[in-house]
Amino acid sequence: MIKDRSKLTTEKRNARSRGIDRLSTLGIIDVLNREDARVAVAVARQRRAIARAVDVIVERFRRGGRLFYVGAGTSGRLGVLDASECPPTYGTPPAMVQGIIAGGRRALVRSIEGAEDREEDGAAALRRKRVRAADTVVGIAACGITPFVRGAVREAQRVGAATIFVTCAPEARRHIGARIIISPVVGPEVVTGSTRMKAGTATKLVLNMLTTAAMIRLGKVHDNLMVDLRATNAKLRDRSQRIVMEVTGVRRPRAKALLKQARGWAKVAILMHFRKVDFEGAERLLDKCGGSLRAAIAHR
């Protein structure tokens, strides 16, 4: 275990932001923007590790497994955010992707920094979720050494779950026992140690990639359209109608009618149009084709 945190990249001082308190407002913004520009490059260097992680997650999903994000502070909030966006975007059940944050729900809106200091608490959080071998656990810790996260990852390994770790501290890699390590090295923060900045941005990009690519592989995206979304508000109802219109070529009144018959499910509405089947028939066809709309339309 790393004893001296000052050796971690995420805790070092950034030579490019020294004297930032003497700059004009525009000068400060320019420094921030230049540093942020480094984030996407750092994430791109991890593309192979991210792709491997997606393949693991998809394989576990297909076995009925779940995906758990585990983090503290900013890292935990980002995991909860990514998990919470999956049901409305991809029609997933809430239990399929879950976020666990040290300190629980209260930590989402108020800093509870001490909640991250016990490995046993992280392990206990996973036990409460009844994590099993078919699941995937993604530990998220900018510094790579957060006890709560490390305890959760160890518990996941104990039960045989797949383990992935996201960290922006390359020094921590050799101390992490996860199956796959994703480590975008964004360098020291503009404000020393403030990992909600570049490290947080890099983490958000990585988590977006993990779930987005996984859902695409699971057939929840047709071309680049979110055909599995469930229309739960006016914005999503409009989007569903436009998706059906785009794929089928029908006008809005017909799209509305199809969606009504399909119980608001765009993928089913599209399939009902092309294959001239009812709701149950469309569901059966999708099941045969592993949820892929493209395969279901072409199926004979």
pLDDT confidence of residue 262: 93
Structural domains for the chain? 5-217 (3.40.50.10490), 234-298 (1.10.8.1080)
How confident is the prediction along the chain (300 residues), in pLDDT tens digits per residue?
666 677 798 999 999 999 999 999 999 999 999 999 999 999 999 999 999 999 999 999 999 999 999 999 999 999 999 999 999 899 999 999 999 999 988 888 887 667 788 999 999 999 999 999 999 999 999 999 999 999 999 999 999 999 999 999 999 888 898 999 999 999 999 999 999 999 999 999 999 999 999 999 999 999 999 999 877 789 999 999 999 999 999 999 999 999 999 999 999 999 999 999 999 999 999 999 999 999 999 987
Supply the pTM of this predicted model: 0.92
What confidence score (pLDDT) does residue 2 get? 65
pLDDT at 113: 65
Instruction: Say what the pLDDT of residue 286 is.
Output: 94
Q: What CA–CA distances, in Å, run from 206 to 2, 82, 161?
A: 24, 10, 20
pLDDT of residue 230: 77
Give the pLDDT score at 109: 80
pLDDT at 296: 95
Residues marked active site are found at: 85, 116
Tell which residue, 116, 287, 286, has the closest CA to residue 296. 286
pLDDT for the residue numbered 251: 97
